[in-house]
Amino acid sequence: MNPTIRILGIDPGLRNTGWGVIDVTGTNLKFVASGTVQSTQALALAQRLVELHDGLTRVIEEFVPNEAAVEQTFVNKDAGATLKLGQARGIALLVPGLKGLPIGEYLPNLIKKTVIGAGHGDKKQIRMMVRVLMPKATFNSDDAADALAIAVCHAHHRGAAAAAARVAARIGQ
């Protein structure tokens, strides 16, 4: 009998950070919950990061995941936007890290390839495939749908990610 693993997927963003929780038993995926943590644009950057921290902390406390997965930041032409996204991503890594959760990190193209079968696709395709994979899935934003896709990607690649972490730990010793 395969144990059930609860995975929290996080799609980091300074304005909207999507989250999605799934249960994985063997190859079976089950939707648990999803949502979006929003920061208040009128606040200073530090306060916005606190809002993201507090929101993700509440999600982890409510749903008690075993593992987390976060989308890796891509570099775009706007250096300021990339830096802000990196800061939000730091919060997305910090919160589950503080709870002692193993964290997988995945490039956007791998997430898309895992969920829709191609490394390039749009938000509509991701939403559709998340619903195909988990018919009971609901989400209030594209960010929440993306977070569920990140969790699905982790469910498929978590064994490889764990092995890579063990190798990295051995090299660091």
Catalytic residues: 11, 71, 143
Contacts of 133 (CB under 8 A, 6+ apart): 29, 115, 152
